[in-house]
């Protein structure tokens, strides 16, 4: 199965798409933007007020202006403080809501993304998208907007002040303005490139940490602490190096922009020193122009610094949108089954995994009658588990046909198809919850405590849960860490019992059990399979000798099939496997 390659999103497309998330919060954004404008205007107004203070107060005779100024400054700072709180809180509120929405969309998207995608991408990188990438978006939607709007208004107001008093001197600023724009444009591209590298590095950090936590026992058993520490040190250092590249780019751009701004001020002083070049200015007007120019350096510095966060945010947005644009599981089926009878027909089935040239399944033809037990056996890699996975459309095939009760499984609505199956696999997955809730997980409809208790009893879960202080309400721990492998497997079997689906897939279901545990629940498995169509992927041949049909697979093909006795009589691969296990046992 090949997945569609999505074109990369450019900065403009990412920004426009990010803006669409703001539509639901127009009212709060409007209030925040008004507060930002007020904040920026007050900063500029303080500079504007320099002229009357000097010309009327210090050099003039109106000493009363200082009393008015004291009141004005007090009111200005009160309003400025309220505007600052309103804008900061409002935009943070909007930003956090957008991040929450993105995280929810990412989580929901991953739930419907084909398994083949996760086969090719590390889980740590996926986790990093939900945690790290969305956090970068939060910075882009809050701090960046605050700085851009507030400092942008301040710059415009200061430029207006300069032109009000001397448009000739103000023109000098526009000589250096394009230089600042070129610098910001160049640095933005570099920020974006480095931010992408930081995201990849953070994904590697998450993946390495997750791998260490999951493999902790193996690392200790094989004395791999030093090896893992060195590997993480390399990954961690790579992340540090990328972060320092970002710091270097930001740190070098800020002083350069300030230097260019200083040149503008120097130019004003030089022009003023030449007699007759500009109209005469009062002391207050001249100081206001110089003060406005000097004050421009701070907002310019802030905007150049915030450009770092903006580019990191846009890069993170691109990563999030890339995941959200992934193809979902193909679910074009329209038909629904209330409860299948359990007849399966597989005709000329071929399948290859994405990126693999060899066929995992090659010309499979198999008919399974309702209520029968069919075992799939063969060497590792022969295609047993692949065939079982195709029955529930965990992967999609392009050649051949699989029909359930005469209906192509591609014509069945996906959830309706999977409700017909109960799955017990070798890799038992338990949620960090109670034993009872893990058993009830996936049950079709509401279940009672009595039903959970009955399923637990049939799967011999009560044999160990009754010894626990909380019984079935005992927590299993993360990934069932509080339980043994055999105990986890019994819970999985109880879960399948409670689901009460017409078809059952047992994928190496007893491989994690010791001999005593296997013997104690084999009767439960037999009860579970009674009246159901059962497909058993088996490694231990002793567990499937009573199967109605045993299908022997090799290199993706069916090479033998029949009952246990019939296959022994054929003197083929099944007999070889049987004798090999008998000798080893």
Tell me whether residue 252 is exposed, middle or buried, using C-beta atoms within 10 angstroms of its C-beta: 0 to 12, 13 to 18, 19 or more: exposed
Asked whether residue 370 is domain-assigned, the answer is yes
Judge whether residue 367 has pLDDT over 90.
Answer: yes
Asked whether residue 493 is domain-assigned, the answer is no
Task: Read off the tokens for 48.
Answer: 């504007």
Judge whether residue 474 has pLDDT over 70.
Answer: yes
CA distance linking residue 240 with residue 373, whole number of Å: 57
Chain mean pLDDT for the chain: 80
Residue 377 CB neighbour total at 10 angstroms: 25
Read off the CATH number of the domain in which 169 is found. Answer: 1.20.1560.10
- The angle at the Cα of 34, spanning 32 to 40, to the nearest 5 degrees, equals 105
pLDDT in the model for residue 7: 47
Stretch 503-512: mean pLDDT = 76
Task: Read off the tokens for 338.
Answer: 């209330």
Asked whether residue 434 is domain-assigned, the answer is no
Read off the CATH number of the domain in which 580 is found. Answer: 3.40.50.300
Say if residue 276 is in the same domain as residue 406.
no
Q: Which residues contact 381 (CB under 8 A, 6 or more apart)?
A: 555
Q: Which residues contact 60 (CB under 8 A, 6 or more apart)?
A: none
Say if residue 217 is in the same domain as residue 342.
no
- The angle at the Cα of 389, spanning 453 to 408, to the nearest 5 degrees, equals 105
Which of 5-9, 62-66, 361-365 shows the lowest mean pLDDT across its residues?
Answer: 5-9
Q: Phi first, then psi: give them for residue 50, nearest 5 degrees.
A: -65, -40
CA distance linking residue 234 with residue 240, whole number of Å: 10
CA distance linking residue 403 with residue 337, whole number of Å: 13
Say if residue 282 is in the same domain as residue 352.
no
CA distance linking residue 329 with residue 332, whole number of Å: 9
Say if residue 162 is in the same domain as residue 227.
yes
Say if residue 366 is in the same domain as residue 412.
yes
pLDDT in the model for residue 517: 59
The edge-to-edge listing of strands for the beta sheet with 361-368 is 361-368, 344-351, 399-404, 407-408
Q: Which residues contact 189 (CB under 8 A, 6 or more apart)?
A: none
Asked whether residue 464 is domain-assigned, the answer is no
* Domain end call among 324, 348, 375: 324
CA distance linking residue 504 with residue 422, whole number of Å: 5
Asked whether residue 102 is domain-assigned, the answer is yes
Judge whether residue 27 has pLDDT over 60.
Answer: yes
Q: Regarding predicted confidence, which is higher, 579 or 471?
A: 471
pLDDT band, very low/low/confident/very high, at 420 (cuts 50, 70, 90): very high
* Domain end call among 291, 324, 357: 324
Tell me whether residue 260 is exposed, middle or buried, using C-beta atoms within 10 angstroms of its C-beta: 0 to 12, 13 to 18, 19 or more: middle
Residue 328 CB neighbour total at 10 angstroms: 11
Q: Regarding predicted confidence, which is higher, 162 or 421?
A: 421
Q: Name beta bridge partners: 345.
A: 367, 403
CB 364 within 8 A of CB 400: yes
Total count of domains within the chain: 2
Asked whether residue 296 is domain-assigned, the answer is yes
The edge-to-edge listing of strands for the beta sheet with 533-537 is 421-425, 503-507, 533-537, 373-378, 549-554, 557-562
What's the domain range around 340? 332-419+546-585
Which of 41-50, 104-113, 415-424, 561-570 shows the lowest mean pLDDT across its residues?
Answer: 41-50
CA distance linking residue 504 with residue 521, whole number of Å: 16
Say if residue 238 is in the same domain as residue 340.
no
Q: Name beta bridge partners: 432.
A: none
Say if residue 184 is in the same domain as residue 281.
yes
Query: What are the Cα distances from residue 540, in Å, to 376, 579, 583, 584?
Result: 11, 12, 13, 11
pLDDT band, very low/low/confident/very high, at 404 (cuts 50, 70, 90): very high
Say if residue 239 is in the same domain as residue 343.
no
CB 95 within 8 A of CB 37: no
Q: Regarding predicted confidence, which is higher, 280 or 309?
A: 309
Asked whether residue 514 is domain-assigned, the answer is no
CB 40 within 8 A of CB 151: yes
Asked whether residue 148 is domain-assigned, the answer is yes
CB 323 within 8 A of CB 109: yes
Say if residue 336 is in the same domain as residue 315.
no
Say if residue 306 is in the same domain as residue 260.
yes
Alpha helix positions (H), 459-531: 462-465, 485-499, 515-529
CB 367 within 8 A of CB 533: no
CB 246 within 8 A of CB 311: no
Say if residue 248 is in the same domain as residue 159.
yes
Residue 519 CB neighbour total at 10 angstroms: 11
* Domain end call among 324, 346, 372: 324
Closest CA to 472 of 520, 439, 518: 439
Say if residue 197 is in the same domain as residue 337.
no
């Amino acid at each position: 199965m090949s997945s569609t390659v999505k074109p990369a999103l450019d900065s403009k497309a990412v920004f426009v798409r990010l803006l669409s998330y703001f539509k639901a919060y127009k009212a709060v954004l409007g209030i925040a933007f008004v507060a930002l404008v007020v904040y920026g205007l007050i900063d500029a107004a303080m500079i504007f007020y320099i002229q009357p203070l000097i010309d009327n107060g210090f050099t003039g005779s109106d000493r009363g202006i200082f009393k008015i100024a004291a009141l004005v400054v007090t009111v200005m700072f009160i309003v400025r403080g309220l505007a600052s709180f309103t804008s900061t809180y409002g935009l943070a509120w909007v930003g956090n809501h957008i991040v929450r929405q993105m995280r929810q969309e990412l989580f929901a998207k991953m739930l419907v993304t084909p398994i083949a995608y996760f086969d090719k991408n590390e889980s740590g990188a996926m986790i990093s998208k939900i945690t790290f990438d969305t956090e970068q978006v939060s910075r882009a939607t809050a701090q960046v907007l605050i700085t851009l709007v507030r400092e942008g208004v301040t710059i415009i107001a200061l430029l207006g002040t300069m032109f009000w008093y001397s448009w000739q001197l103000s023109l000098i600023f526009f000589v250096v303005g394009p230089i600042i724009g070129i610098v910001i444009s160049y640095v933005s591209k570099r920020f974006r490139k480095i931010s992408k590298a930081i995201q990849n590095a953070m994904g590697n950090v998450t993946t390495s940490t997750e791998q260490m936590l999951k493999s902790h026992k193996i690392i200790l058993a094989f004395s791999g602490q030093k090896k893992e520490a060195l590997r993480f040190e390399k990954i961690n250092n790579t992340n540090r190096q990328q972060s320092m590249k970002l710091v270097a780019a930001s740190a070098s751009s800020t002083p350069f922009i300030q230097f260019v701004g200083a040149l503008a001020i120097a130019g004003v002083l030089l022009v003023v020193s030449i007699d007759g070049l500009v109209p005469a200015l009062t002391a207050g007007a001249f100081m206001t122009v110089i003060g406005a120019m000097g004050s421009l350096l701070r907002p310019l510095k802030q905007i150049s610094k915030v450009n770092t966060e903006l580019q990191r945010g846009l890069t993170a947005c691109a990563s999030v949108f890339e995941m959200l644009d992934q193809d979902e599981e193909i679910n074009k089926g329209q038909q629904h089954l209330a409860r299948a009878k359990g007849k399966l027909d597989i005709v000329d089935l071929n399948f290859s995994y994405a990126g693999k040239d060899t066929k995992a399944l090659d010309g499979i033809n198999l008919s399974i009658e309702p209520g029968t037990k069919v075992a799939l056996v063969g060497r590792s890699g022969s295609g047993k588990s692949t065939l079982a996975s195709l029955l529930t459309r965990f992967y999609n095939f392009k050649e051949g046909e699989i029909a359930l009760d005469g209906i192509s499984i591609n014509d069945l609505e996906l959830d309706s198809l999977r409700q017909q199956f109960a799955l017990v696999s070798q890799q038992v997955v338990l949620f960090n919850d109670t034993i009872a809730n893990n058993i009830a997980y996936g049950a079709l409809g509401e279940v009672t405590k009595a039903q959970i208790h009955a399923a637990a009893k049939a799967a011999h879960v009560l044999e160990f849960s009754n010894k626990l202080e909380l019984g079935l309400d005992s927590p299993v721990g993360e990934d069932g860490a509080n339980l043994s492998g055999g105990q986890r497997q019994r819970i999985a079997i109880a879960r399948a019992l409670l689901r009460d689906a017409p078809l059952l897939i047992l994928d190496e279901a007893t491989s994690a059990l010791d001999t005593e545990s296997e013997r104690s629940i084999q009767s439960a498995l037999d009860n579970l399979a009674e009246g159901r169509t059962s497909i058993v992927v088996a490694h231990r041949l002793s567990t499937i000798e009573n199967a109605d049909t045993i299908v022997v697979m090799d290199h993706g093909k069916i090479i033998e099939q029949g009952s246990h006795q019939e296959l022994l009589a054929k003197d083929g691969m099944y007999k070889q496997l049987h004798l090999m296990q008998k000798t080893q046992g």
